[in-house]
Amino acid sequence: MSTFLEVKNLHVTFPTEDGAVLASNNVSYSVALGETLAIVGESGSGKSVANLAVMGLHNPHRTQISGEAILHLPEGPIDVLSAAPETVRRLRGKAMSMIFQDPMSALHPFYTIGNQIAEAWALYNEGSKEDGIKRAVEMLDLVGIPDAAKRVHEYPHQFSGGMRQRVMIAMALVNNPSLLIADEPTTALDVTVQSQILRLLADLQKEFNMAVILITHDLGVVAEVADRVSVMYSGRIVESAAIDEIFYNSTHPYTRGLLNSIPRVDNHGKGTRLRAIPGQPPSLISVPKGCAFAARCEFISHVPGGLCIASNPDLLEKAPDHYSRCHLTGAQVIDIAAKNLAHQDNGAK
């Protein structure tokens, strides 16, 4: 697989009255054609902000962006962060596309579905309006909208939530982009519709050999579709690895905390207590000097000399292709977690 997008040392800062908000702090990630990278984090972790920067969708007057985001196009690599806005505009929709959480506010209520898809098509293709509508019908067919030839003339309000998200996907893919960034694409949908949309995205990815970045907070969705995962906390990537490594061999206390705190439908019933992570994430204005997760971390007592409070750990390769931002070694985290679990089981008995 060839790498398509490479983000290096991305910083995104919003100056505000209360001080600068460092929403994305030295973030690096990459995704290859045909691969799905999931970026996981809670609200305010910076997962959307970083990807909006890649798409060139931040207001340049109110945002400071530094770093690199290189698209490896067939005609040569290009850094979209330093490229002219006009160049980036011509890549949007063609080389890279994005779909959003709320398909209602992303569609224009006054125009028919067909017009909106045809408009996106006409940006990069020569042809009459009829050609555009014809292409829109093809796309609606592709994303599984029944009776596409008729529904292409309908308005967004005539579609259900799941159908609107299909329309958004059709619009995003109308020019065969190599990269699709999906920002919480199923969060607003019901579970039965969610599984339809995830299945559709996976099928289309295979068909067009797309690189997909899935931004989500739902670890169940991640388990279903991702090849690799980057976990973000407080503007930084804290762990990054192949999917099974993240779920079964995590070397970061925050990732472990998240996995422990979610109830599972296939698990024991009532009476067990959820292992919640205490406290809440720090403000992005006064980022702690040390590890951002230190105040909530249950592993902190295993690190000597207040190191976690004093210095922020680097993102280091703890196992082959498994990066983690923690003062403990990977083996230490795994070992302590196993002991904690055994201790808890004894307590339960």
Partner 1 sequence: MAENILELHDLKKHFPTTSGGLFSRRKGVVKAVDGVSLSIGVGETVGLVGESGCGKTTAGRTVMKLYEPTDGKIIFQGEDISHYSRKQMMPFRSQMQMIFQDPFASLNPRHTVGTIVGASYDIHGIKPAGGVENAVRDLLERVGLNPEHINRFPHEFSGGQRQRIGIARAIALRPKLIVADEPVSALDVSIQAQVVNLLDDLQQEFGLSYLFVAHDLSVVQHISDRVVVMYLGKVMESAPTESLFAKPRHPYTKALLSAVPIPDPRLERTRERILLQGDLPSPMNPPAGCVFNTRCWKVQDKCRSVVPEPVQIAPNHTLACHFPE
Determine if 155 is a binding residue for partner 1 (CB under 8 A).
no
Residues 6+ apart with CB under 8 A from 190: 161, 162
Q: Which stretch binds partner 1 (CB under 8 A): 27-35, 81-89, 161-169, 318-326?
A: 161-169
Q: Are 37 and 227 in contact (CB under 8 A)?
A: yes
Q: Which stretch binds partner 1 (CB under 8 A): 69-77, 205-213, 257-265, 317-325?
A: 257-265
Q: Which stretch binds partner 1 (CB under 8 A): 19-27, 97-105, 123-131, 219-227?
A: 219-227
Tokens standing for residue 73: 């196009």
Determine if 224 is a binding residue for partner 1 (CB under 8 A).
yes
Determine if 122 is a binding residue for partner 1 (CB under 8 A).
no
CB of 261 to partner 1, least distance (A): 4
E-state strands within the chain? 3-16, 19-32, 36-40, 64-73, 76-79, 96-99, 179-183, 211-216, 228-233, 236-242, 316-319, 322-324
Among 273, 320, 347, 349, binds partner 1 (CB under 8 A): 273
Among 58, 90, 153, 275, binds partner 1 (CB under 8 A): 275
Q: Which CB, 269 or 320, lies closer to partner 1?
A: 269
CB of 18 to partner 1, least distance (A): 13
Determine if 160 is a binding residue for partner 1 (CB under 8 A).
yes
Report DSSP letters for 228-291, one per residue.
EEEEEETTEEEEEEEHHHHHHS---HHHHHHHHHS--TTS--TTPPP-PPPS-PPPSSS--SS-
Determine if 278 is a binding residue for partner 1 (CB under 8 A).
yes
CB of 348 to partner 1, least distance (A): 15
Determine if 295 is a binding residue for partner 1 (CB under 8 A).
no
Determine if 59 is a binding residue for partner 1 (CB under 8 A).
no
10 — phi, psi (to 5°)?
-80, 125
Task: Give 282-324 as a 3 state SS string.
Answer: CCCCCCCCCCCCHHHCCCHHHCHHHHHHHCCCCCEEEECCEEE
Determine if 220 is a binding residue for partner 1 (CB under 8 A).
yes
Tokens standing for residue 116: 């909106």
Among 114, 162, 282, 313, binds partner 1 (CB under 8 A): 162
Determine if 257 is a binding residue for partner 1 (CB under 8 A).
yes
Please give the helix or strand (H or E) that residue 210 lies within, else none. Answer: none
Among 48, 194, 230, 324, binds partner 1 (CB under 8 A): 194
Among 158, 280, 311, 344, binds partner 1 (CB under 8 A): 280
Order of strands across the sheet that contains 64-73: 19-32, 3-16, 64-73, 76-79
Q: Which DSSP letter does residue 101 get?
A: S
Determine if 43 is a binding residue for partner 1 (CB under 8 A).
yes
Determine if 147 is a binding residue for partner 1 (CB under 8 A).
no
Determine if 84 is a binding residue for partner 1 (CB under 8 A).
no
**Amino acid, single-letter form, for residue 283:** S
Distance CA 174, CA 124 (A): 10
> Count residues contacting partner 1 (CB under 8 A)?
48
Q: Are 226 and 37 in contact (CB under 8 A)?
A: yes
Q: For binding to partner 1 (CB under 8 A), which residues are involved?
A: 42-43, 160-163, 190-196, 198-199, 217-224, 226, 243-244, 247-248, 257-259, 261-267, 269-270, 272-278, 280
